[in-house]
Amino acid sequence: MAEADGDNEVDVLILGAGSGGYACALRAAQLGLSVALVEQGKLGGTCLHVGCIPTKALLHAAEVADSTREAETFGVLAKYDGIDAAAVRNYADGVVNRLFKGLTGLIKSRGIRVVEGRGTLTGPKQVTVEGADGTTVLTGRNVVLATGSEPRLLPDIEPDGTHVLTSDDALRLDRVPRSAVVLGGGVIGCEFASVWRSFGAEVTIVEALPRLVPPEDAASSAALERAFRKRGITARTGTSVTGVATSEEGVVVTLSDDSELRADVLLVAVGRGPRTAGLGYEEHGITLDRGFVTVDDHCRTGVDGVWAVGDIVPGLQLAHRGFQQGIFVAEQIAGLAPQPIDERGIPRVTYSRPEVASVGLTEEQAKEEYGDDGVTALTYDLGGNGKSQILRTQGFVKLVRQVEGPVVGVHMVGERVGELIGEAQLVYGWEAHADDVAPLVHAHPTQNEALGEAFLALAGKPLHAHS
């Protein structure tokens, strides 16, 4: 085994090069620290290779398919001839490869050492890497754990990559299924259901909880379910899967009400679990809770000088959360004093058709915190928004605020509303009151105006509300 030496000792040793790991590496190098980044797969991790980027490329292809089908309604003569699954995958791969090449060049230009191989914590400040070129032992004055997540599986449902799929499998499919059952009505399940429906598949979502996208505001869930129903996507909420049988023809899914669903494929989309098993964490003092690394609000573990970021930390498993945590940890290591991240202020987007976007508290959460009489909510329908009419999308902007106080939650449903979440996050983060936002000028015609109109109404000046 190679021994650690001066060349293998760095200020910041990062295990995992996904969104949290590479962001931490880049910021630490920017701040003059020496950095080593350990990665078994490719730089960019889940988000770049099997998560955010390829799925959103598929969703854009799905949008193009829908636009082509509906072209005549806009006076455009176009013919929809179907989906070339291999070409769609090549398009998505092209996007991923260009971003990967850019990230690789950026990491190299910052002087960050990348060590390829499986890294394991072999001491509180030591990582041993088993790679193609042998064994390397690295030590860090600070160690950042950023090993990410993997598709969560259920007992007795074994993915086979052909008929029973994980989200990773679904991205690599070389065909469009004629029919699909999606187990899980969260973000991943709804996005794949939306893609496959746009590609022409018959889709049924099975969700054990009472509604789709359960963490979102109840009004957003209801609007998404209505939109999906209009699109022909069936949602079986409050229902669980009790059995799965596969054959050459496909899959038979038995539900808790004893009914059966037959389809080409079953997608198991019940979330992602932390990738922490077998990496030496607990053996070297790191506390795990159901596989997640326990940290304080500064991303510190219970071991001095060992930090954790991203999907292995309890909370929202979102790339931009891990990215921000990585920067936050790098700045602390460098001796700066950044403000802890407000988990409630992290924007959330489901990129289905329609999109669901939110930041802050749901109406129910706000009432739990401030009391039923301490909260008011206002909903502005996108039917009054010119750009939404042009796009032929339906939905709303819902604002939740403390009575005589700041807005504590913004919830939106409609095509492209994910692009509006930036302003919503600023409103929440700056604890803005309706009167603070109402005077701001929003360009016309944009969907962004819907936020402006909603705040006008919340400030008592509803220009387009029906009397």
The residue among 108, 107, 123, 129 whose CA lies nearest residue 40 is 129
- Catalytic hit among 433, 444, 464, 466: 444
Is 189 annotated for ligand binding? Answer: yes
d(CA 82, CA 89): 15
Query: Is 147 marked as a binding-site residue?
Result: yes
* 158 annotated as ligand-binding: no
The answer to whether the annotation marks 185 as part of a ligand binding site is yes
Residue 149 annotated as part of some ligand binding site: yes
Q: CB neighbours of 119 closer than 8 A, spacing ≥ 6?
A: 15, 16, 38, 39, 40, 127, 128, 129, 279
Q: Is position 360 annotated in a ligand binding site? A: no
**310 annotated as a binding-site residue:** no
395 assigned binding-site residue: no
Question: Is 186 assigned to a binding site?
Answer: yes
- Quick one: how far is CA 1 from the chain centroid? 39
Is 6 annotated to bind a ligand? Reply is: no
- Mark whether 464 is an active-site residue: no
Is 296 labelled a binding residue?
Answer: no
**Pick from 13, 21, 323: nearest CA to 142:** 13
Residue 190 annotated as binding? yes
Binding residues: 56, 119, 147-149, 184-191, 207, 271, 311
Binding residues for FAD: 56, 119, 147-149, 311
Q: Annotated catalytic sites, by residue?
A: 444
Binding residues for NAD(+): 184-191, 207, 271
